[in-house]
Chains A and B, each alone.
Chain A
Amino acid sequence: NAGVMQNPRHLVRRRGQEARLRCSPMKGHSHVYWYRQLPEEGLKFMVYLQKENIIDESGMPKERFSAEFPKEGPSILRIQQVVRGDSAAYFCASSAENTIYFGEGSWLTVV
């Protein structure tokens, strides 16, 4: 049973470009979470999705960030017009019952 799969693992973008991060949950999991880890900090919740629905986006920045989890395919976290402050590790997690499993993360560097 494959774990939570994220890609790309590393992404470099110039300021103003768009970044798209993908996450495939564990087989059988229908709940996806995105977290952001700034350098030398803990993880901060961004958004919680189920298939085709955003359940909780209380941690998402109001502008430039969006997330989706379509009926088919991976969940996508999209960051438009990236700025240097977006440089971070972005972790996806999925869950069934009451345990969350994390992917290995996508490290975004904005230059």
Chain B
Amino acid sequence: GNSVTQMEGPVTLSEEAFLTINCTYTATGYPSLFWYVQYPGEGLQLLLKATKADDKGSNKGFEATYRKETTSFHLEKGSVQVSDSAVYFCALSDGAAGNKLTFGGGTRVLVKP
């Protein structure tokens, strides 16, 4: 079956530091890959996505590249802000059952001023 593994948190950073959250996956076929962000007490917001190998998704300074050879989709941001404090979820959809998503366990990020 499909699975997503992401680094455990919490990750604590200072403002303007570089952020990387590792995500690897196991899936049949060629899944689409997503990063979602969840702010405290809120729902999930789509941060970025990539639908095929070597695609780069980007949004709000965040980037992730779909690496088929390493089955990875690591999230990066060059200079974080306090407002980036949230839980980040990596997810995949293999298209076999609509757009059913398989999520990683989430990584909590705390950015300190």
Mark A residues whose CB is within 8 Å of B.
6, 31, 33, 35, 41-45, 48, 55-56, 91, 93, 95, 98-105
Q: How far is the CA of A104 from the CA of B45 in the complex (A)?
A: 9
- Tell whether A48 pairs with B98 under 8 Å between CB atoms, given A42-B89, A102-B36: yes
Task: Give 9 CB contacts A-B under 8 Å.
Answer: A31-B98, A42-B89, A42-B103, A55-B98, A91-B44, A98-B51, A100-B34, A102-B36, A102-B45
Q: How far is the CA of A41 from the CA of B104 in the complex (A)?
A: 9
B93 within 8 A of A: yes
Query: Considering only CB atoms, which chain A residue lies closest to B99 in the complex?
Result: A95
Interface residues of B in 66-113 (CB under 8 A from A): 89, 93, 95, 97-106
As a 0/1 sequence over residues 38 to 51 of chain B, the CB contacts with chain A under 8 angstroms (1 = contact) are 00001111100101
A84: min CB distance to chain B, Å: 21
> Which residues of the other chain, A, contact B42 by a CB distance below 8 angstroms?
104-105
A62: min CB distance to chain B, Å: 19
B22 within 8 A of A: no
A108: min CB distance to chain B, Å: 14
Are the C-beta atoms of B44 and A102 separated by less than 8 Å?
yes
> Which residues of the other chain, A, contact B101 by a CB distance below 8 angstroms?
33, 35, 43, 45, 93, 100
Q: Across the A-B interface, how many residue pairs have beta carbons closer than 8 Å? A: 61
* New A-B pairs, 17, CB < 8 Å, besides A33-B101, A105-B42: A31-B99, A33-B100, A42-B105, A43-B101, A43-B103, A45-B101, A45-B102, A48-B97, A48-B100, A55-B97, A56-B97, A56-B98, A91-B44, A99-B49, A100-B34, A100-B99, A102-B36
Q: How far is the CA of A92 from the CA of B5 in the complex (A)?
A: 23
> Which residues of the other chain, A, contact B24 by a CB distance below 8 angstroms?
none
8 Å CB contact of A45 from B43, B100, B104 = B100
B29: min CB distance to chain A, Å: 13
Residue in A33, A45, A98, A101 with the greatest tally of chain B CB atoms within 10 Å: A98
Are the C-beta atoms of A102 and B43 separated by less than 8 Å?
yes
